[in-house]
């Protein structure tokens, strides 16, 4: 099973256009929606118009953009003085106070509710800057995913070799997601580090399912992956059987 997920649906109209185009060209099979960003309303309309409802999850935002709930705006852990979400992606979060857990859960539920009020069935949950994989954040995410009946949560990136401490941490995070019954794929990778395991080597032989993350944008009329200059088509074509990719619900687009 291969899922190619386009992050940041709803960020702005330009990104929305790039993601829809990626679907139409067969370069992605899934996307995740940002409930607090300027392009949210348009993204929801596009999801309905382009028959993407079985292909859209939620891209939980805990950094960037306005918070949706009042309580979290008053928390210096999660927001700046203007009430914008500002959880840093560089520092670990190993513990939260009970009040912080309640505050965080309410914000996550508000983002979920805003998507569902627009008729968006959420196939899974991931997050901006992968903040859901912070240890104490994951506690709350798992609880909310269960209570809100979100069937799957993205794994921590595990197709790139880092230092031993980081590898052990990712292993522990992914073990928690699996034990919670929320894993959909064995592996999760960025487009760069997905090419080796999908193409060759001992890891490729063991892979039965993988999610590959992309960030489509249109630059000078060319569809690319954010941060790169070559066309997205050439990068996607390097993934074995990319045209067989499905959504988290197992649905192939068209």
pLDDT computed for residue 41 by the predictor? 98
Q: What is the pLDDT of residues 132-158, one digit of tens each?
A: 999 999 999 999 999 999 999 999 998
**Positions of E strands within the chain:** 2-9, 30-33, 56-60, 63-66, 84-86, 125-127, 187-190, 210-214, 216-219, 222-225
- Asked whether the predicted pLDDT for residue 197 surpasses 60, the reply is no
Contact 12, 34 (CB under 8 A): no
DSSP string computed for 171-210: HHHHHHHHHTT----SEEEEHHHHHHHHHSHHHHHH-S-E
Cα–Cα dist 28/30, whole Å: 6
**In the CATH hierarchy, which fold is given to the domain comprising 2-244?**
TIM Barrel (3.20.20)
Q: What is the pLDDT of residues 64-115, one digit of tens each?
A: 999 999 999 999 999 999 999 999 877 778 999 999 999 999 999 999 999 9
pLDDT computed for residue 206 by the predictor? 65
């Amino acid at each position: 099973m291969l899922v190619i997920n386009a992050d940041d649906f709803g960020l702005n109209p330009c990104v929305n256009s790039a993601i829809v185009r990626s679907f139409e060209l067969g370069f992605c099979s899934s996307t995740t929606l940002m409930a607090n960003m300027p392009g949210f309303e348009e993204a929801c309309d596009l999801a309905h118009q382009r028959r993407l409802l079985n292909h859209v999850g939620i891209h939980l935002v805990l950094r960037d953009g306005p918070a949706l709930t009042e309580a979290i705006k008053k928390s210096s852990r999660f927001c700046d003085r203007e009430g914008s979400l500002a959880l840093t992606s560089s520092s670990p979060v190993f513990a939260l106070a009970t009040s912080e857990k309640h505050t965080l859960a309410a914000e996550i539920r508000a983002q979920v509710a805003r998507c569902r009020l627009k008729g968006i069935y959420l196939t899974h949950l991931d997050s901006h800057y992968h903040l859901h994989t912070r240890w104490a954040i994951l506690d709350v995410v798992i609880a909310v995913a269960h209570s809100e009946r979100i069937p799957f949560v993205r794994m921590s990136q595990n197709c790139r070799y880092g230092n031993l401490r980081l590898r052990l941490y990712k292993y522990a995070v992914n073990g928690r997601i699996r034990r919670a019954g929320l894993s959909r794929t064995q592996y999760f990778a960025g487009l760069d580090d997905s090419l080796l395991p999908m193409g060759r080597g001992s890891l490729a032989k063991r892979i039965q399912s993988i999610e590959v993350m992309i960030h489509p944008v249109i630059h000078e009329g060319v569809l690319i992956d954010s941060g790169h200059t070559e066309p997205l088509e050439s990068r996607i074509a390097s993934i074995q059987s990319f045209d067989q990719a499905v959504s988290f619900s197992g649905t192939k687009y068209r």
